[in-house]
Amino acid sequence: MTTVTRRGKKPSAWVRLLRNPSGLIGLCIIILFVAVALLAAFTISPFPPAAQHVKDRLTGPSQTYLLGTDLFGRDLASRLMEGAKNSLYVASLSVLLASFLGISLGLMAGYLGHWPDNLIMRIMDVFFAFPALLLALLVITVLGSGLNNTVLAIGIVYTPIFARVARGPVLAVKEMEFVQAGRSLGANPLRLILKHILPNILAPLLVQISLALSWSLLTEAGLSFLGLGVQPPAASWGVMLSESRGIAERAPWLMFFPGAAIALGVLGFNMLGDGLRDVLDPKTRSKR
């Protein structure tokens, strides 16, 4: 499809994202995901997620139970909705924490340079030496399992990535004339960082946020699958997938639907990340 735009007037990033197939599909999946989570947050679901219908245990998908029931007779669709809410809660809060800590550290390291830069980035290197899951396990060993501790664990795990992604562009932007001018006029460093440097490095950070949401969704599901994240009877897609083991032969829907939900959620954030990268990265843009 060819779109005609007036010469000299570049379409906004939003329009470019909506025209990007990967970005558009990713955005649609995430909107669906958020809508389902919001419905669960306002307790709008076919059944209460913890309600047990003992007579209807392990019933396949039907008109009454859209996606079937589990071993305790709980409605799978309602639990999937509750799982979407919990997964989105953990993913968004942990990425919020990681991006706040990581971007702050990256901005400080890049702007201050010298020994603070060295110190901060060497500390980040220490965190990079651990696989994400192992670091999360280490944090959970200290804090214990549970919804909020999972948020903290995942937030800590992904902080160094944000620090590294933020620091690189700061090094380039701080040498630009408008920042140098601000410095020479004696502008407050905090104001300079927040008002002038941060807006200029937002593009790679937005891409990173989208990708980090997909990783944190995966890490939460992985931890919950291992029994170290969200604790039953609270619903989480990882917990539900783990609970399906052993009975999947009799009730394959218990494995299929949570599995598809995890894959779809991750796919959505990955595609949005790819779309954002295409739209915001000047290198990719110039190639198109």
Partner 1 sequence: MFSYLVKRILSFLPTLLGVSLLVFLAIRLVPGDAITATLGTEAGMLTDVQRQALERYYGLDKPAWQQYFIWLGEAIKGNLGFSIRHGKAVSSLILERFPLTLELALFAIIIALIIGIPIGLLSAIKQNSIFDIAGRFLALIGLAMPNFLVGTLIIFVLSVYFRILPNAGDYADFATNPLKNVQQLFFPAFTLGFAFSASVMRMTRSSMLEVLNEDFVRTARSKGLANRRVINRHALRNALIPVVTLIGVEMGYLLGGAFIVEQIFALPGLGRLTINAVSQREYALVQGASLFIALNILVINLLVDLLYASLDPRISYDDSN
Q: By the criterion CB under 8 A, which residues form the site for partner 1?
A: 122-123, 125-127, 129-134, 137-142, 218, 221-222, 225-228, 238, 241-242, 244-245, 248-249, 252, 255, 259, 262-264, 266-267, 270-271
Contact partners, residue 228, CB within 8 Å, separation at least 6: 137, 140, 145
Q: Which C-beta is closer to partner 1: that of 48 or that of 113?
A: 113
Q: Which C-beta is closer to partner 1: that of 24 or that of 133?
A: 133
Q: In angstroms, how far apart are the furthest CA atoms of the chain?
A: 76
Do 195 and 163 touch, CB atoms closer than 8 A? no
Report the DSSP beta bridge partners of residue 69: 75
d(CA 23, CA 36): 20
CB of 23 to partner 1, least distance (A): 14
Q: Which C-beta is closer to partner 1: that of 141 or that of 180?
A: 141
CB of 285 to partner 1, least distance (A): 16
Q: Which C-beta is closer to partner 1: that of 191 or that of 285?
A: 285
At residue 169, what are phi and psi to the nearest 5 degrees? -65, -30
CB of 108 to partner 1, least distance (A): 18
d(CA 54, CA 69): 10
Q: Which C-beta is closer to partner 1: that of 4 or that of 126?
A: 126
CB of 267 to partner 1, least distance (A): 4
d(CA 185, CA 207): 33
CB of 265 to partner 1, least distance (A): 8
Q: Which C-beta is closer to partner 1: that of 107 or that of 120?
A: 120
CB of 118 to partner 1, least distance (A): 10
For 101-140, give one letter per residue: b (16+ CB within 10 A) or e.
Answer: bbbbbbbbbbbbeeeebeebbeebeebeeeebbebbbebb
d(CA 128, CA 124): 6
